[in-house]
Amino acid sequence: MKIRVGNSWSEVLDASPAEMAWLEEYVGCDVERYVPGAGRLVERFTMLDGACFASGLVPLIASAAQAETGSPVELVDMRPSLPGVSDAQADLAWLRDYQADALTALVAVGRGVCQAPTAAGKSEVIIGLTRALPEVEHLCLIHRSDLVRQLSERYMLRTKERAGAFVGGVWRRGTCNFTVATFQSLASARRSGAEGLDELRSAVGAVHVDECHATPAATYYSEIQGLHKAQHRFGFSGTPLKRSGADTLRTVGALGPLVYRISAQTLIDRGLLARPQVRMRPLEQYSTPDSDWLDVYADLVVRSPARNALVADMALSAAKPCLVFFDNLKQGQLLVLEMEKRGLRVGAVWGRHSLDFRAEALQQLQRGELDVLACSVIFQEGVDAPALASVVIGGGKKSYVAAIQRVGRGMRISEGKSSFEVWDVLDKGQSWLAKHARGRRRAYLSEGYDVEVLKV
């Protein structure tokens, strides 16, 4: 098999029918889809479009073809030499040893994914890469504007230089070779035909994707693949490959395979992260026989007096300061009322609140002016709260990624803090809720966290 390698896409130039059949099977997977009234459908997903596929899969295809078929793959690399030369003299002394190892591994291969837990300092590695590859124009793509601001501020703090921005279809260069932008800003510029997007695409030689588990979303994937001149491609996440097979294929296709991993347990053992101590409180509830999932979630999670009272009780018992997560705004409002009934000083933030409001609420929590801060998914990522002593999971869903990210909010260490509490509901009775609770418990155990099921 002969493959021509490009930055975004690669093409099979020559292959036998048997080799093409093997390739289609290798870069494909079965996916399940739920259709109201029709139940579960199984469909075939493949990254192969004719003879083309996303270039991040090339190293995996090359090694698998040799191992599984015995046929070597000839790679015809039509790209110019990788832009820029790694600067061995770059001042990277501020990196921790594992951060330096991650940087070295990424530079060596030119593209790939770094898996590191919350509070491991992924932003430090991103900043280090801009120093290690100084001749390249770097772009970091993020899916939330508050995280853009955080990374830009961190870059200024570390380098004393101002990062560029891409806003309203205009590329506003900084004082360095680094720009931070949201995926949404690139998508909006593409739809409007903004000339600034062409300027950005023609200059970027290295793209970094923070929280790259979001890459599978159609918008994110297409924007990365649209950066045709970006030969360096790096992804960062604590849970990069924990979604469906199709989503994992898109992540690897856009960015490359996993090239460096450090576990939360390793950093906990080294005293660099706080150890989560998970406590799950059982609650048994049942739905009516004809209830669908939306009815179950509304009745037994969002508006459930018993469940909301239990979550409020956990917040009362939890060490302070405490962060309480909810998935539904109505539930968040009911939880605030329940917690206030118990005499807790409660704040709340969700999507409509400004970045400044969110930042001030978090500071009030850390200063001890609030006991509890109730929050939606907006605090699931990028929250820097070293003083946090506990996290309460108020929702009833099953996402592995969401569960681990929420626990991660408390993992930053501070003086005198080596562990923190995580409280969750172990739903029982109703089959969907029970299945989701078991899934969250498995997620905690798979990460090596201590999990205790409390008595009723």
Distance CA 428, CA 83 (A): 56
* Structure confidence at residue 377 as a pLDDT band (50, 70, 90): confident
* Structure confidence at residue 37 as a pLDDT band (50, 70, 90): low
Average pLDDT over residues 304-316: 97
Distance CA 414, CA 272 (A): 10
Distance CA 426, CA 435 (A): 10
Residue 349 bridge partners (DSSP): 375
What tens digit of pLDDT does each residue of 172-231 get? 999 999 999 999 999 999 999 998 999 999 999 999 999 888 777 777 899 999 999 999
pLDDT at 423: 97
Distance CA 44, CA 327 (A): 31
* Structure confidence at residue 41 as a pLDDT band (50, 70, 90): confident
Summary count for the chain: helices (H), strands (E): 16, 21
Listed residue (117, 106, 101, 111) closest to 213, CA to CA: 117
pLDDT at 33: 75
What tens digit of pLDDT does each residue of 113-131 get? 999 998 899 999 999 999 9
Residue 58 bridge partners (DSSP): none
Distance CA 271, CA 273 (A): 6
pLDDT at 92: 86
Whether the predicted pLDDT of 232 surpasses 70: yes
pLDDT at 167: 93
Average pLDDT over residues 263-292: 93
Q: Which amino acid is at 110?
A: G
Residue 436 bridge partners (DSSP): none
What tens digit of pLDDT does each residue of 64-89 get? 998 898 888 999 998 876 655 566 56
- Is this prediction's pTM over 0.85? yes
Whether the predicted pLDDT of 442 surpasses 80: yes
pLDDT averaged over the chain?
91
How far lies 212's CA from each of 240, 352, 364, in Å? 6, 25, 30
| CA-based R_g, the chain, Å | 23
User: What are the helix (H) ranges across 77-206?
Assistant: 97-109, 122-132, 145-159, 183-192, 195-203
What tens digit of pLDDT does each residue of 338-361 get? 999 999 999 999 888 888 898 899
Whether the predicted pLDDT of 51 surpasses 70: yes
Burial class (CB in 10 A: 0-12, 13-18, 19+), 70: exposed
Distance CA 384, CA 234 (A): 23
State which of 203-207, 238-242, 407-411 shows the largest mean pLDDT.
203-207
**pLDDT above 90 covers what percent of the chain?**
70
pLDDT at 40: 74
Residue 361 has which token pair?
């609420």
